[in-house]
Structure 1
Amino acid sequence: MHQPGSAGEILEILRDGTPRTKRDLALLTGQARTTVAQRLAVLTDAGLVRETDEATATGGRPSAAYAFNADDKIVLAVDLGANHATCAVSDLFGEVLAHTTDAVPIAEGPQTVMGLVLDRLDALRSQVVELSVGPAVREVMAVGIGLPGPVAQDSGRPTSPPIMPGWDGYDVRRVLEERYGCPVFVDNDANVLALGERAVAWPGVQDLMYVKVATGIGAGIISGGRLLHGAEGAAGDLGHVYSAAAGERPCRCGNRGCLESLAGGMSIAATLTEQGIPAGSPRDVVDLVRAGNLESIHALREAGRAIGDVLAACTALFNPRVIVIGGEIVEVGEPLLAGVRESIYSRALPLASRNLRVTVAQSGALGGVQGASRMAIDAVFSAEHLDAALDRAPAAVG
């Protein structure tokens, strides 16, 4: 645990971008001004705080103000899905400065996918440096990455991921640490999407669920302002919850009756193909719905009802304020969303559902990298992590 009034705590205060005087910080932390001055000196030496040109008048001599120094540091972010890799560079406030997306199947394996990721991150980093105005962007403070499968929180390694052949136990964190020499933070893609959506659209909401409906189905759950990971990092694996609507349908996980076997994007495509409407992917389903195909619209509505049945139980357990539906299928999300709402509002008790918002994601294609960057920023600048880093190397945090 960090000490009250530590350098890490002071930086947490300054990260909102508002300059503050030593007096302000002493009042906020309950520490003496001499202690605050010592902490500010450490943060200034580490390049994380700067004295601003803005001085505040307090009735006497103007007092110097101090601000978070985000000018010459960047964060790298990666969002991997079943069939895409989005890479980005952000500033220390989580704003994306440059990004790129490649169509690459996660099933190609870690060597292929991570090789592509490293190439893209290197190129984006160089691009941002070349376009920098003022001090050159030099230091990569952290890397955040979301993976489409369960992630062990202690190691950052994928754990028996059903759609990621060859990735089980792969040391994603080590590969990125060796390239960039900074802390790396790894989580499930639905979790980083939840963080991105909350930052972009619901910054004041403390209880939110992000449900990703794409090739499969997963959820990121924020409760009391914190992500829920569970004992093995498998919290939010909605796709493999039993669904009565799925009956005895076989699931790729080996069980029968999983929600994903009926309502996942690939399963919807397979159902349509069985009906004589060729659809080989979630993208084909989206195209059919846009073309007005009634069978595909009906299939999405039924999938939404099944997802809503599961989310009604989640509403009773977690009592979220907002449920966000995202993922590739939600590009034409009205039939799906209508089914989800129908089931939730008919099954959940009024106490839990009367103020519940069920809506489509607003963070768009960059929601994953926005969430990954914010995950990395919040982690590397947490008081605990920062104080430990400053103790190890006072003038070089990272």
Structure 2
Amino acid sequence: MPPPPPTETSTLTLTPNAPAPLIRWDEGGQPQQALWRCESGGAVPHKVVLADDRINADTAWRLASGGTVLLWRGDFHNARLLLQALARRVDRKPHKAHTPASITEAFHLHRMAQAQRARLLGAVLIPVDADHAIPLRRAPDLHAALGEAWGAAGGQPSVVSLRELLGLVGAHEWRKKGVEIAALKGRIHPHYGVFSPVRGEYVDLVAQAPLPSETLAFDIGTGTGVLAALLVRRGVEHVVATDTDPRALACAADNLARLGCTARVELLKTDLFPSGRAPLVVCNPPWLPGKPSSALEHAIYDPDSRMLRGFLSGLAAHLAPGGEGWLILSDLAEHLGLRTRETLTSWFDAAGLRVIDRLDIRPRHPKAADSSDPLHAARAAELTSLWRLGAV
């Protein structure tokens, strides 16, 4: 029998992040330092120059291309204009573009280009005071966005790339607005660093699959909590939702409270499975084997398919008799040549699992129809599947 649902909302205790490294530079003949904020975990820049409204885009481009970053001391809006000018230079198509020999090579070249673009556009740095104010002319008030991403103000001044700072603002707006989820008849409000369920196909699959039981379900890697909430909406009496990321757990707690699902969902900070067995275990792991370069990319890239293989290898031991594991997975990795279908099904066999059924859905996102995308052939062929798995 499932454990009784909690009668009141519990408070999550979040583990604080490790102290950020320091960025150092000289200013006015004096050594200076501040916390280095970089969501991707990139190395602290060592070649730092001060820049303001007098610098032109060509000089900034030359410095950024050589690995020098620009700590901005001018007008905030002029810094944005400079960033836009750098972006135009990055996005110019080379005169003699290399033609990839395969879709796999195209994927790796695409990721390399993305990393190079991020490095160059990350060269414009913005100072932030300890109270989350930005000490630049015409700087906006970003206290709310910075507080959501970094926590309460206080401590030390910091430095962050303008590109990442604008990402914080975008995340703040998404959090306020939320994402409409038709299957929920409600909205999910993603927090900074937690992947938004903007691709709703996988949610639709979970809404349509026949429930093996309404007593108990495990939601592995809950993220925003969207699938846990959907299972509650479908009548599941108790859901245990797990994640290792404190941001995700806080985000899930917020969304479950907004949707009135708190009393029927237990949130646990643990890797993969909670203890015990359930008649339904659901997991939507990252779809592509690869190394993530930011917190958001952890929802897309799974190094060496660790989460996918961990879920499959432990699933049978956490299924109640006659229970089902629902694996929600895109086959994009197969179309990109990163993993074969035979490899995936061999992992099923090795884990003592059998396929009960498979539900498929086509993607609806714009890139699936964008013929200019270098990965268009793979995206156009993509299917997202809900594999209904049972123990042998």
> Structures share a fold, TM > 0.5?
no
Higher helix share: 1
**Greater RCO structure (CA 8 Å; 6+ sep):** 1
TM range (shorter): under 0.3
